[in-house]
Amino acid sequence: MSMLRLYTRVLELLGKEARLGWILAVANMLLAGAQFAEPVLFGKIVDVLSGRPVTGLFATNSAWPLLVAWAAFGLFTIGCSAIVALQADRLAHRQRQAVLTGYFEHILQLPLTFHSGTHSGRLMKVMLNGTDALWRLWLGFFREHFAAIMSLVVLLPLALYINWRLAILLFVLCVVFTVLTTMVVRKTYGMQSEVEAYYSDLSRAPPTRSATSRWCRASCGSIPRCRACATSPTSCSRCRCRCCRGGRWSP
């Protein structure tokens, strides 16, 4: 599933909270604009204090109006960031509880034939992991992701208009950061997928001897030294694995 399709499906689950979601989106746009205007005003203040002529929209011979505007934008950024973070956290928690309740009610309404063929541990894992993932995506989108998207789509062209040399340098740094982040995320995502697949297998059935051996190696880093350790960890007297000797072999 593509990232755009994933965001679309997750945002469609907002339901009654869609109005608050739109308000947070507008607030993120204002926040992105304020964060862009703040360094521009600071640069104009430096120009005025250094005696350089200031032209354009902020043309003035006194630094006080620019200082007042700069302080106002700074206070607005702090207040708006706090409000957006608080409301996004509340929205994510409320929607997590709503989705959790709806999933649980749906599971209870399924026939007994479904429950007899599906392990309850797997259902609990899907419920908890799914709602946690939705909560993180809602929270991250309304706190950071949407403002970052607006900064990339709207504010970067404005930066090219104001100072194209520094804007090109900023664009190159963004490309380098994106490439490095993509490499790290792909690596960690692949390793995390292997871990999730292993725990999904554990949630479907009780642990077998091979699963016990793998869990033993993952827990303390020891490799079984003999066949008895791999088959019956608690009865092996020569095993160098602490978790096997202590009998804590069951995940």
pLDDT, tens digit, for every residue of 167-188?
888 889 888 998 998 888 888 8
* Cα angle 145-151-155, degrees, rounded to a multiple of 5: 170
- For the cut 80, the answer to whether the pLDDT of residue 236 exceeds it is no
In 118-241, where does DSSP find H-type helix?
120-140, 146-150, 156-162, 164-204, 209-220, 227-231
Q: Which of helix, strand or coil describes residue 53?
A: coil
pLDDT, tens digit, for every residue of 186-217?
888 778 777 777 766 665 554 444 444 444 44
* Cα angle 164-142-189, degrees, rounded to a multiple of 5: 85
pLDDT of residue 215: 43
- For the cut 90, the answer to whether the pLDDT of residue 237 exceeds it is no
Q: Which two tokens stand for residue 190?
A: 């692949």
pLDDT of residue 90: 92
What is the pTM assigned to this prediction? 0.65
Q: What is the DSSP letter of 234?
A: G
Mean pLDDT of 138-161: 83
Q: Rounded mean pLDDT of the chain?
A: 76
pLDDT, tens digit, for every residue of 82-132?
999 999 999 999 999 888 888 888 888 888 777 777 777 777 878 888 888
